[in-house]
Amino acid sequence: MDKLIKGITQKNFAVFGRAGMDMFADPIGTKSEYAESFRSDLGGSSANICAGLCKLGSRSALVTSVSDDAVGRFCLNRLEHYGVDTQYVRKVGGEYRTSLAIYESSMDDFQNVIYRNNAADFQVTEADMEAVDYSAFGAAISAGTVFAAEPSRSATFRAFEKARAAGLPVIFDIDYRPYSWPSPEVAADVLTRAGEASDMIVGNDEEFGFMAGGIEKGLEKARALAVEGRVVIYKMGHEGAITFVDGQEIRTGIYPVTAVKPNGAGDSFMAGLLAGIAEGRSWKEAVLRGSACASIVVSQPGCAPAMPTTDQLEAFLAEHAGPTDV
């Protein structure tokens, strides 16, 4: 526990996972199939976490691969725009492509079309992970999608080993995306292994339930992982979250808003949570700040551009009622 908090308070994170290009229909409320214009920005869960951390006053470096083309260069430019360190982003040639997400700011039958054929981010290698200077960081973060295919699966497990050898705590966002995996059975096994190799696990009730073999078993799975000394944060959507830490179960609510889309909430939650811990706040307060960040992001178009700065987060907390009772 001390290692985890000490690492987070250094406010410098190595983040493993994908960067992508988001295109979202403009203006708000326009369905994608009727849109005449789209806005573009950075996407991808790990890239979003990186941007969110930087906007909240921390430093982050993304470790991934992007395609050596205009879309890959777009992602690099946007990462740098948000202040993310890109020295560990490698360009790959051939037919590999950076992910593209096309979605809309409309909760009415929300649509998010993902293009991940020959995904460039799956081409991260063990050599890429060996090249990272782990001593420069306070903590390592990974989203679960990196484990969905080789060579990035083995490479990221190697990164976990390197991080732990360097004294860094490992923070794991389950981030289960069924379309990326060869089968549910493989996903459940690999994600469980990744969780067991981590110091802190964040996921929602469906993700923990998936790992446990049934959504009704998710809470039990979260408790079991926490008993082994990890911090586990079990998110339940509008019902809030349960944080398992030091033998406690801390229940927290959410900040209700009018959402225009569902995506990006988990990434913003992670950034807000870690920024709160880095500022020396209690686990309960840090989780609530993460929840506030999630509410901010779902109430605005885009993901990375909707991530709040510290001033925007403070203004939101001052202006909004909440959190809800639990």
Q: Within a 10 A sphere around the Cβ of 276, how many other Cβ atoms?
A: 24
In order along its 326 residues, the chain shows pLDDT tens digits of 689 999 999 999 999 999 999 999 999 999 999 999 999 999 999 999 999 999 999 999 999 999 999 999 999 999 999 999 999 999 999 999 999 999 999 999 999 999 999 999 999 999 999 999 999 999 999 999 999 999 999 999 999 999 999 999 999 999 999 989 999 899 999 999 999 999 999 999 999 998 888 889 999 999 999 988 899 999 999 999 999 999 999 999 999 999 999 999 999 999 999 999 999 999 999 999 999 999 999 999 999 999 999 999 999 999 987 798 87
Is residue 89 within 8 A of residue 65, CB to CB? The reply is: yes
* 136's tokens: 């420069």
Q: What's the CA gap between 267 and 180, in Å, rounded?
A: 18
2-319: what CATH class? alpha beta
The CA–CA distances, whole Å, from 167 to 163, 202, 228, 238 equal: 6, 20, 19, 36
Is residue 188 within 8 A of residue 211, CB to CB? The reply is: yes
Is residue 261 within 8 A of residue 107, CB to CB? The reply is: yes
Q: What's the CA gap between 214 and 237, in Å, rounded?
A: 17
Q: What's the CA gap between 215 and 120, in Å, rounded?
A: 32
Give the tens place of pLDDT for each residue, 40-82: 999 999 999 999 999 999 999 999 999 999 999 999 999 999 9
Q: What's the CA gap between 124 and 316, in Å, rounded?
A: 38
Q: Global pTM?
A: 0.97
Backbone angles phi, psi at 155, to 5 degrees: -60, -40
pLDDT at residue 214, as a whole number:
84
Domain ranges of the chain: 2-319
Q: What's the CA gap between 110 and 325, in Å, rounded?
A: 28
